[in-house]
Amino acid sequence: MTQDTLGLDATPIAMAHGANSRKVFIKTYGCQMNVYDSLRMSDALAKDGYVQTEDMGEADLVLLNTCHIREKAAEKVYSALGRLRDMKKLREEEGREFVIGVAGCVAQAEGEEILRRAPAVDVVIGPQTYHRLPQALARVRDGERVIETDYAVEDKFEHLPVAEKAKLRSRGVTAFLTVQEGCDKFCTFCVVPYTRGSEVSRPVSQILDEAMKLVDAGVREITLLGQNVNAWRSTGPKGEEWGLAELLYRLAEIPGLARLRYTTSHPRDMDDRLIEAHRELRALMPYLHLPVQAGSDRILKAMNRRHTGEEYLRLIERIRTARPDIAMSGDFIVGFPGETDQDFEDTLAIVEAVKYAQAFSFKYSTRPGTPGADLTDQVPEDVKAERLERLQARLLKQQNDFAQSLVGKTMDVLLEKPGRMPGQLIGRSPWLQSVNLDAKNMKIGDIIHVRITATGPNSLFAEVA
């Protein structure tokens, strides 16, 4: 069975392995934080004797690291588990071990329901208890079906090992680093506070230690992750309070770390000091993902966003004053309960005012357990579909216009991986776009000055300047 037979867009975690080791296949759904979590789980499992495989058919353990942010996410997981159940039955007939685990936000949200509906599942583990995974698997081998979805008292990051240098090096020259988890905002459409818990910030020392290990292994660019990453708060070395800006300034001092990014931000946590960091830190890339979700003040209030459309636009203006070359990215939800035609036009007006370089947009879907699920004034599906089509057409034009505006300009590109053609390498622009170029005398990890020559559907083309 190949990795694609489970369905859903997903990222497998894979490495070379020895012939006699236990093997694990991790399939990752959803956000960048899940990608990071999968890597940290694989590091914890390595200490337990597991190595990664990209061939699910040879795995002794299959972990689905799930996302619960979209409609029907849980049902898609159950569908995948049905196919894994059939694999497990064949393995049992052969007398071979085949452990099935569900991790991530669906695990946290569904919990006991997963064990009830999917008898083939051996372990269910939530985002706050990944460090307990080796112990949970030991209990599975003793015949238990294990569920670990409580909010751990201990700090999971203190117990999760960082991979050895060789393993980190194999992952490339860019890396994610989670600095903050959870959310206290309680937007009425969002399940995150119920699956990831309240806002928690990792301490400075932990973050710096992990960042320096990544850089020592060849990482040139780090993206800081958090459900509300700019809500990060901790204590500095002299006992003073640090916000995300102070952390970015300190990370920028690490020799060899050339680029910094962060995501995802909330407008209410975008303070003056962080805006100033965008002006002063050359390592901080001129690209900011700052979701607004809707343009109508009435809908923003119903969403519990606690800002208005005008306040959001004034914030964008302040950010662009500090960093004129910054490109904006955003999130949009269309068809929130009660959204009228005028409310939707207000969203289009925000889009026109900001001019996004990239954006993500979705139809509203109810998430069980959220306040939005109890609202009665639901927008018909055909209306949501028509509005989403109009919004996405507008956003796609802006994305294409931004890419086209770069043709003929020069910029620094970080070379990340080989391209499809001989001698071709793929890099990353300051604005997070893929850049294809002929770089026969260059190597991965180099930052080179290029001239953009053309645009493609999802990338740029360049020549060495």
**Identity of the amino acid at 111:** G
Ranges 14-23, 51-60, 242-251, 339-348: which has the least confidence: 14-23
Closest CA to 284 of 247, 312, 243: 247
pLDDT score of 71 = 63
* 192 touches 183 (CB < 8 A): yes
Q: Check whether 117 has a pLDDT greater than 80.
A: yes
pTM of the entire predicted model: 0.85
- At residue 159 the predicted structure's pLDDT band, cuts being 50, 70 and 90, is low
Say whether 187 counts as a known binding-site residue: yes
Confidence of residue 7 (pLDDT cuts 50, 70, 90): very low
- Residues 374 and 366: their CA atoms lie apart, in Å, by 9
The superfamily CATH assigns to domain 3-148 is Methylthiotransferase, N-terminal domain (3.40.50.12160)
Distance CA 100, CA 95 (A): 16
Q: Tell me if 31 is assigned to a ligand binding site.
A: yes
In terms of Cα–Cα distance, which of 254, 249, 256, 312 is closest to 282? 249
Q: Which CATH fold would you assign to the domain 156-405?
A: pyruvate-formate lyase- activating enzyme (3.80.30)
In this predicted structure, what is the pLDDT of residue 423?
86
pLDDT > 80? residue 10: no
Q: Where are the domains of the chain?
A: 3-148, 156-405, 410-464
CA 166/CA 349 separation, integer angstroms: 50
Q: What is the mean pLDDT of residues 408-434?
A: 95
User: Which of the four pLDDT bands, split at 50, 70 and 90, describes residue 20?
Assistant: low
What sign results for the dihedral spanned by CA atoms 217, 223, 228, 234? positive
Lowest mean pLDDT among 50-54, 115-119, 367-371, 377-381: 367-371
Is 401 marked within a binding site?
no
Residue 6 has pLDDT above 60, yes or no: no
Same fold, 156-405 and 410-464: no
Q: Report the pLDDT value the prediction gives residue 373, as an integer from 0 to 100.
A: 85
Given CA atoms 382, 387, 392, 397 in this order, what sign does their dihedral have?
A: positive
**Over residues 159-166, mean pLDDT:** 73
Whether the pLDDT of residue 17 is over 70: the answer is: no
pLDDT (mean) for 190-201: 88
Cα angle at 161 between 164 and 50, to 5 degrees? 75
Q: pLDDT (tens digit, 9 = 90+) per residue, 277-330?
A: 999 999 999 999 999 999 999 999 999 999 999 999 999 999 999 999 999 999
> What pLDDT is attached to residue 457?
85
Q: What are phi and psi of 187, to 5 degrees?
A: -60, 140
Tell me the backbone φ, ψ of residue 122, rounded to 5 degrees.
-100, -30
Percent of the chain with pLDDT over 90: 69
Q: Consult the annotation and say whether 105 binds a ligand.
A: yes
Tokens of 273: 């000091």
Token pair recorded at residue 21:
């080791």
* Per-residue confidence band for 384, with pLDDT thresholds at 50, 70 and 90: very high
In angstroms and rounded to an integer, the radius of gyration of the C-alpha atoms of the chain is 23
Q: Using N-to-C axis directions, what is the helix angle for 133-141 and 32-47, rounded to 10°? A: 60
- Number of Cβ within 10 Å of residue 304's Cβ equals 14
3-state secondary structure at position 12:
strand
Average pLDDT over residues 220-243: 95
The DSSP output letter for 256 is T
- CATH class for the region spanning 410-464: mainly beta
